[in-house]
A and B are shown apart, each in its own frame.
Chain A
Amino acid sequence: MTTIKTPRARRARKAGRRHPLASVALIAIGLLFTGGAYAAFSTSTAIATTDASSQQTIAQGEKLFAANCATCHGLSAQGSSEGPSLIGVGAASVDFQVGTGRMPMQMQGPQAQKKPVQFTAEQTAALAAYVASLAPGPAIPAAELLDSAGDSANGAELFRINCAMCHNVAGAGGALTEGKFAPAIENVSAQHIYEAMITGPQNMPVFNDMNITPEDKRDIITYLKYVEDNPSPGGLALGSLGPVAEGLFIWIFGLGAIVALTVWITAKSN
């Protein structure tokens, strides 16, 4: 234990060895690339341009419905033990559920989850036209309500009162009971946000136009887009999840640094 290596010998041995953190860095880079590639592939959506009212579109929608939806929702959308009735849910509901990939459902579970979209924009529009033709219901919102050019301060107040308890004040989402959850609203299109408010998908309550007026809904969307487009003034947001993520970060990295410094201070110098 008292043998002392000369500095030269130590340096020579070090040069021939890979840095201990090299494998960690390699794995991190590999994971980053895989995740990035997946994210790039899985975010592709389109906008509907089909004329919703024509009889031809409705007939096409009926065929698509019979082939893809009728198993659970019934041949005339009357509902069954597997799925609810779709009479009166409106075009907005179909556009939201099918346009975000939640329908057709992959499997029964606590709630239908977002997944890659199964239908093209025209097919989605045809399905929406068919369901809207069954009974009146909430329509797909007009483009001028979706321009995110409203009053973001008013939108933020309404969001804090009506939405933030479930969706998090920055729209990062949150947990509900028994496996259900309020999804994150980052990178959701303005049209889908609006449709979710007027139709109340899954366990979300309905926010009709008497509760939150169309202009107020436009303000809420403006606020959400503002949050999305502007960087967090506090720097790294850690997912905007609040005290859990922030606490975990400071416990691991803050206390970790203190422990490392303490070990270094008390260790004997070479």
Chain B
Amino acid sequence: MAKDDNGAEHVTAADSPGAQLATSAASTAVVTRDALVNPGFPPHRPRITDLDHKEERKAERAVYTLFYVSIVGSVFAIAAYMAFPIVAEDPGSVRLNNLFIGLGLSLALLAIGIGAVHWGKALMSDHEGVDERHPVRGTEPVRARAVEIFQQANEESGFGRRTLIRNSLIGALVVFPLPAVVLFRGLGPMDQDPVALLNETMWKKGVRLTMDPSGIPIKAADVTLGSSFHVIPEGLSEMEHGRLEEKAKAAVLLIRMDPADLIESDDRKSWSYQGIVAYSKICTHVGCPVALYEQHTHHLLCPCHQSQFDVENHCKVIFGPAKRALPQLPIAVDAEGYLIAQSDFTEPVGPSFWERA
């Protein structure tokens, strides 16, 4: 076996020190440093392939059969790619294509792996051996030589002597990552303050409540008792740029319940209309859409982390990890009977962020 530069005397697998350790531990004069005595190897047990020539042949046959099976698998995968093409508009063809290519490829790889392991276990030489772990620290001459190499390199290159070159190189390496900082900054919103973006939504005074996804405005009379409407602000469905970004903030759930069931604080009495209330659909925990509305209990459930909000009581949190009530959208009715927003939400929607006021 080769020696490495760290100079540890290397043990070959055959002359392992298991036996030596066992004798030293047996001596009564020596205090063992380790309470656990190395038991050494269990007695060598010959394999059936070592004893029976027929079994050996059988194992050999199994290994090369597996390798041939692998070839069959690879060819099968190529044939399946041609025989089961993906046809547009037909999801069933995707399934067949994936299934048969996958079967062929997994057969090809698995058969190689299983064959190789079986070969190693049943046919290759099976003597037991130990490789001792060598110390990490190198020998003194090796360490001295390493220091010498560094010193020589410093002398020959003049790295320590020519300070102008050295310092300008360090400067170049420090400045080198800066373009990455600029590039990554470019991924964020450039011309707008992100805090303002998170604080405001599309809703403002007079914006009609419209249906998701059609954008048809909603009349107060359309919202019958027990109904829930999924609402987007007027104009969002026609937006070409940033539609999803705006929708992610402005999505609203509109619910009508018996006005007798509503418990409203005095300052919010004018925010609802005859039992119709509108709440942000964005969970205040981590921003999942909260829309699992129960008509009789008036509970809203967030499917991600099971936060529950009580719609009767200004969507206060009654269970789960959310910390704040869902923001309410103040609504009114315009002259034509359509529902409109009185203003934007009075607080930022969705989960907390650092600069949230």
Contacts and interface: CB of A to CB of B under 8 A. Distances in A.
Contact of B230 (A162, A180, A206, A208): A162
B230 A174 contact: no
B48 A177 contact: no
Interface string A164-180: 01100000001011101
Contacts, number: 98
A57 B207 CA distance: 50
Chain A interface secondary structure, helix, strand, loop or mixed?
Answer: loop
A260 to B, nearest CB: 12
Contacts of B121: 265, 268-269
Contact of A235 (B99, B222, B295): B99
B294 interface: yes
A264 interface: yes
A22 to B, nearest CB: 26
B294 A270 contact: no
Interface in A1-39: 1-2, 4, 7
A1 B294 CA distance: 68
A203 interface: yes
A166 B299 CA distance: 13
Interface stretch (A41-49, A74-82, A226-234): A226-234
Contact of A204 (B98, B223, B230, B295): B295
B93 to A, nearest CB: 9
A4 B91 CA distance: 56
Given A157-B213, A177-B301, A270-B48, A203 B295 contact: yes
A200 B294 CA distance: 10
Interface stretch (B49-57, B73-81, B133-141, B190-198): B49-57
Interface string B215-234: 00011001111111110000
B123 to A, nearest CB: 9
B226 A205 contact: yes
Contact of A176 (B99, B219, B255, B292): B292
A166 B95 contact: no
Nearest to B47: A269
Given A4-B46, A208-B224, A233 B95 contact: yes
Using C-beta atoms within 8 Å of the partner chain, give the interface range for chain B.
35 or more
Contacts of A187: none
A207 interface: yes
A269 B303 contact: no
Contact of B45 (A174, A176, A230, A268): A268
Contact of B52 (A7, A182, A211, A232): A7
A210 interface: yes
B272 interface: no
B254 to A, nearest CB: 9
B94 interface: yes
B92 interface: yes
B327 interface: no
Given A177-B294, A206-B295, A270-B48, A200 B226 contact: yes
B297 A177 contact: yes
Nearest to A230: B91
B122 A269 contact: yes
A235 B49 contact: no
B296 A270 contact: no
A207 B289 CA distance: 19
Contacts of A177: 294, 297, 299, 301, 308, 319
Interface in B92-139: 92, 94-95, 98-99, 117, 121-122, 126
A206 B91 contact: no
Given A174-B303, A265-B117, A268-B45, A205 B227 contact: yes
Contact of B117 (A7, A204, A234, A264): A264
Interface of B: 43, 45-49, 51-52, 55, 91-92, 94-95, 98-99, 117, 121-122, 126, 211-213, 218-219, 222-230, 255, 289, 291-297, 299, 301, 303, 308, 319
Given A176-B292, A177-B319, A211-B222, 18 more contacts: A7-B55, A161-B213, A177-B308, A182-B292, A202-B295, A202-B296, A203-B295, A205-B227, A205-B228, A207-B227, A211-B223, A233-B94, A233-B95, A235-B98, A235-B99, A269-B121, A269-B122, A270-B47
